[in-house]
Amino acid sequence: MDPDRGDHLSRAETAVSKHHRAPSPGHHSQPIALLFGLWAGLLLAPTVFLWTMSVSYAIVPWSCAHQHHGVVQAVSLVGLIVCLVSTFFAWRAWHALGGGVQNHDGDLESRNRFLALSSMGVGALSTLVMFTQAVIPWIVPPCVS
């Protein structure tokens, strides 16, 4: 240590080095399942809904021409299952982070909890909309002229 720097600087360096350690190679600060859960409902569920809607509209002419009416329903059912699973992963991430919204400190834990709660809300909304899209082909057949 340099004697000209003073004792207060060495104590500050020690305090900072205790709190800010560089992660070792291959070390992840959060498990992959938790990160997937944080983003699943927020990104995957709405994307699957939009993809399902696009694919459903695209395959209606083919399914009507070949009399395969169940294809549209199958695409909607797969989309509904993926939305449900992604919302479940968001709920698991929120639950793993302690649930609730009681912490307003602005730290990493609070941010992750808010992100998981937002992911769960967006996933639930996407699942609800996906459910309505999946029910429609059962009520109104896609080949009605």
The whole-number pLDDT of residue 4 equals 56
Q: For residues 29 and 136, which has the higher predicted lDDT (pLDDT)?
A: 136
* Residue 132 pLDDT > 90: yes
Q: Tens digit of pLDDT for each residue in 10-37?
A: 544 444 444 444 444 444 456 887 888 8
30-34, 42-46, 126-130: the lowest-pLDDT one: 30-34
The whole-number pLDDT of residue 18 equals 45
121 touches 45 (CB < 8 A): no
The whole-number pLDDT of residue 84 equals 95
Q: What is the DSSP letter of 102?
A: -
37 vs 116: CA distance, rounded Å: 7
| Helix (H), strand (E), coil (C) string for 103-130 | CCCCCHHHHHHHHHHHHHHHHHHHHHHH
Q: Tens digit of pLDDT for each residue in 68-124?
A: 878 888 999 999 999 999 999 999 988 888 877 766 677 777 788 888 889 999 999
17 CB-side CA count, 13 A = 6
The whole-number pLDDT of residue 46 equals 95
